[in-house]
Amino acid sequence: MAAVVQVDGISGVLQELYFLNRRLHKEITTRMRTAAQPLVERVGQLFPDAEPLSRWNGTQPGQRTAGGFPKYYGPAARKGIKARTGGRKDRLTGMKPILKLVQTDPAGAIYDIAGRQNTGTHPTFIPNLKQSDGQASRAMWPGVLSNYPYVEAQVMAAVEQASDEVSKAIASGAESRTAKQSAFASARGRTSLGRFGVRGI
């Protein structure tokens, strides 16, 4: 996975928009994914057509060796790249990605990141892959970094639209998600364990 755009506070804006206007939220997140399609295609070009290593090649999607190891099939690796919105908070930065690229093809993911953390159970596979195609990441991050400015500009334009719509809705009297949650919490109280429910002693 490669986070394409990650900005502090933006995920909250999108959450508010989802609460206030789900149709518009869907339109804006779709606009973000559409903006990332040139990047999806560019990253896909960095995945090789043929097998990076001998005897790792498949002839169709989903093939595996007798031991269950995914075989590499170039068209499936390129098709496996998807642009998705949202994601979990980064533990190091404390920020949530608003747009990311993911590799959904197992062999494509192995090609891209194998060797980043450990040597795995195949002692010659990763050294040979590093020798033939270099260090991880071999496609996702290089492709993102080389095309980042265009995609960032398109996505941030969509984010500004979302922010404007949230501000207009709240200014017109709509109750924000945050305010409604705070009111709900205050009305219910907390138990002695801190959970919402029966008011604690």
Task: For 7-54, write each residue's pLDDT tens digit.
Answer: 555 677 778 888 888 888 888 889 889 988 988 999 999 999 887 888
Q: Is the pLDDT higher at 105 or at 169?
A: 105
> What is residue 104's predicted lDDT score, i.e. its pLDDT?
95
Sheet with 2-6: list strands edge to edge. Answer: 2-6, 97-103, 81-85
Q: Is the pLDDT higher at 150 or at 179?
A: 150
- Per residue in 74-93, pLDDT (tens digit) is 999 999 999 998 877 777 77
How many Cβ atoms are within 10 Å of 75's Cβ, its own excluded?
14
Question: Residue 41 corresponds to which tokens in the numbers above?
Answer: 């295609």
Number of H helices, E strands in the chain: 9, 3
Q: Is the pLDDT higher at 179 or at 91?
A: 91
Most confident range, picked from 16-20, 26-30, 104-108, 194-198? 104-108
> What is residue 110's predicted lDDT score, i.e. its pLDDT?
94
- Per residue in 153-175, pLDDT (tens digit) is 887 888 788 888 878 877 887 65
Q: Is the pLDDT of residue 60 over 60?
A: yes
> What is residue 199's predicted lDDT score, i.e. its pLDDT?
35
Cis ω before 172 (30° cut-off from 0): no
Alpha-carbon separation of residue 186 from 52, 67, 181, 183, 197 (angstroms): 59, 56, 9, 5, 11
Res. 6 pLDDT band, cuts 50 70 90:
low
Between strands 97-103 and 2-6, the pairing is antiparallel
Lowest average pLDDT, out of 27-36, 115-124, 125-134, goes to: 115-124
pTM, entire model:
0.72
Q: Is the pLDDT of residue 94 over 90?
A: no
> What is residue 48's predicted lDDT score, i.e. its pLDDT?
93
Using DSSP, state whether 180 is helix, strand or coil: helix
Q: Is the pLDDT higher at 195 or at 32?
A: 32
Measure the CA–CA gap between 201 and 46, rounded to whole angstroms: 62
